[in-house]
Structure 1
Amino acid sequence: MQIQSPAKLNWTLEILGRRADGFHELRSWFVAVGLLDTLSVEPQQQTSTLTLDGPMSVGIPSDRRNLILKADALWRASGGEAPFCAWHLDKQIPAAGGLGGGSGNAAAALLLLQKMSTTQPKLSLEVLALTLGSDVPFFLQQQSACLQGGQGEQVLASAEAPDRNIVLAIPFIPVPTAAVFRNLDAPEFDSSAKIKSQVDLSFPEQPGVNDLLSAACIAAPKLALFHSEISKFARFHLSGSGGTFFCVAEDPQSASDIAAEVEHLCQHVCVVPLLRGPVIANIKPEE
């Protein structure tokens, strides 16, 4: 069996304040895009293993550090029973780029394990997903655009994404997430605030501000230079804490033109659509 897990973009990203637990409260529209990893699985004996290939697989661990094997172990530890798995990942989504590729892989593994199960786990997939990371529950949603709160794990609203042509500009510049959040000058978060009532719950037609942009550029000065250069060609927005930028084009030809103009500045550039329907689509027999 196999399943495809998409990349996600932060269409908007607001930091509402620093919480008492040291984490930051955010509000962000997540949206899935058509840059896809493919996770395949076959039953095997003794233990679960992972192999990888694809252009973005270099440097990705295939041991227990990988979220796929973490998801496998967690699902079994919570009471799920299924044959051990020979996992294989065709990696197309760059790691550590603000695209949520690893989180999507973890969600895909949970869905495949449920399909293979002889006994369901005691905990729900949503609880298991949240245990693996705050972005993982998004990939279990039935609509491809969701307004997320908390650390990214709370679904405040969902919507059908519009038809849009997206250019992804990826510099492969390391951006240390912890340093980004240390650079934020965020106020103390008022936990009594009624966040949901203070915001328009409809999906915005155009991307909004990412409150992490300035802090990310301080943490990684090369990112600021990259943003300055690509912004000469179109209005680019940062996804997550970086370092992938994206822009919205009027039509497929405009998207291709922008991609060609910025290609010399990027390590990787591609044109993708916003996805519609469930974030992760149906499981398919392996071809």
Structure 2
Amino acid sequence: MELSSPAKINLWLRILGRRPDGFHEVETRLCKIGIADTVSLELLGTGNSVALTCNVPGIPLDESNLAIKALRAFEQRAGKTHSWRIHLEKRIPSGAGLGGGSSNAAAILRAANELAGQPLELGTLLEIAGSIGADVPCFLLDTPAADGTGRGEQVTPAEFPWKLPLVLIKPAFPIPTPWAYKQWKDSQELPGVLYAPQICPWGEMVNGLERPVFEKYRLLAALKTWLLEQKGVQAALMSGSGSTMFAITRTGAESAALAEAAQQWCGETAWVRATETLV
């Protein structure tokens, strides 16, 4: 099977506090966008081997990869092992806050269940997904947007009729999600940077992780300020724990023009794409 594995942005991410289990309670809306990896899964037969390949150097090909973790978790719940071959054709950058690894894991769960004769129902797949990562369940839903609570893993489909043009900008450095959450409580706002919710027709865009991330990665704070000054920009925000910043524009032509300007502003090492939310 070959499946499209889309990226996401967080239109909002509110951190409500630290939980007894060490994770953080959040409220978030995840919205799928038009940048996607392609995930291929082949059932080879009996056995328990997994061969993973990827077009991007540096992506882990061992059991630490969320795609293999998803496959192992599926087999454990289904009670049967097979031999598999996985290929990831990556277009979503890693360490970007765009959910690439989580989306790949969800695609593997969906494909493995189909190839194995659908032994598990969606509710069980969602449970497995939540145990792999907080963003994974969202990608199992056949909706363009979902609201996440708990650690983010408790998902419900969200109505989202807007097709929003946007620009994604990821500098050359990644940001580890656990680090960003760990720094959240003691972090401080930088003067002159907008952290307040941005009121939009689709909701209040805000991200509680901007505070700790901007405090260390000043480029991202400057990038957000610059984006908000650009023509046609309705809102700008960091996605997830970063390092991707995104700006929503009024039209596709404006997002294309902004992408060119952002590439010049950030330099050639930055990953910049114009895209839109899925409907």
Indicate the RMSD between aligned Cα atoms, in angstroms. 2.3
Aligned partners of 2:29 and 2:145 also within 8 Å:
yes
1:220 to 211, 217, 222: 217
- Mark the runs of 5 or more structure 2 residues left unpaired by the alignment: 187-199
- Map residues 101-112 of structure 1 onto 2, 5 A cutoff: 101-112=100-111
Secondary structure of 1:236's match? strand
> Displacement, 1:134?
1.1
Per-residue deviation, 1:204: 4.9
State the Cα deviation string for residues 93-118 of structure 1 (Å, max 9, x = none): 00111001000000000111111114
1:210 counterpart letter in structure 2: N
CA contact (8 A) 2:40 2:87 kept: yes
Counterpart of 2:274, as a letter, is V
Q: CA deviation at 1:81?
A: 3.8
Distance 1:160-1:141 versus aligned 2 partners, 3 A rule: same
Q: Percentage identity across aligned positions?
A: 33
Q: Compute the displacement of 1:119 (Å).
A: 6.8
Alignment of 1:150-161 (within 5 A): 150-156=150-156, 158-161=158-161
Match for residue 166 of structure 2? 166
Listed as ranges, the gaps of 5+ residues in structure 1 are: 187-202, 277-287
Alpha-carbon distance in 2 for matches of 1:59, 1:229: 31
Report the Cα distance in structure 1 between the residues aligned to 2:86 and 2:20, rounded to whole angstroms: 39
Distance 1:226 1:273 in 2: 20
Tell me the residue number matched to 2:276. Answer: 273
Between the aligned partners of 2:6 and 2:114, the Cα distance in structure 1 is: 19
Alignment correspondent of 2:26:
26
Structure 1 length-normalised TM: 0.82
Asked whether the equivalents of residues 79 and 119 of structure 1 are also in contact (C-alpha less than 8 Å), the reply is no
Separation (CA, whole Å) in 2 of partners of 1:5 and 1:97: 15
- The count of residues paired between Structure 1 and Structure 2 equals 257
For residues 17-69 of structure 1, what are the alpha-carbon distances to aligned partners after superposition, in whole Å with 9 as ceiling and x for unaligned? 2223332111111100010000112232542211111xxx2311111111111
Which deviates more, 155-164 or 64-73? 155-164
1:280 match = none
Q: How far apart, in 1, do the equivalents of 2:252 and 2:42 lie?
A: 38
1:228-280, CA deviations, whole angstroms, 9 ceiling, x for partnerless residues? 4444434421001111011111111111111111112151111112112xxxx
Structure with the higher fraction of residues in strand conformation: 2
**Equivalent position SS for 2:39:** strand
Give the aligned residue type for 1:49.
Answer: A
TM-score (norm 2): 0.84
Does structure 1 conserve the Cα–Cα contact (< 8 Å) formed by 2:32 and 2:144? yes
Partner of 1:98: 97
Please name the residue that 1:283 is paired with.
Answer: none
Cα distance, 1:207–1:90 mapped onto 2, change above 3 Å: farther
What is residue 54 of structure 2 aligned with on the other side? 52
| Structure 2 residue aligned with 1:71 | 70
- Partner residue in 2 for 1:136: 136
Query: Match of 2:197?
Result: none
1:36 corresponds to: 36
The match for 1:12 is 12
Letter in 1 for 2:276: P
8 A Cα contact 1:238 1:245, kept in partner: yes
- Hey, what's the Cα distance between the residues in 2 that align with 1:42 and 1:156? 30
What amino acid does structure 1 have at the position aligned with 2:32? A
Cα drift, residue 227 of structure 1 = 3.5
CA offsets 1:74-133 (integer angstroms, 9 cap, x no match): 111122546421111100000111001000000000111111114725981111111111
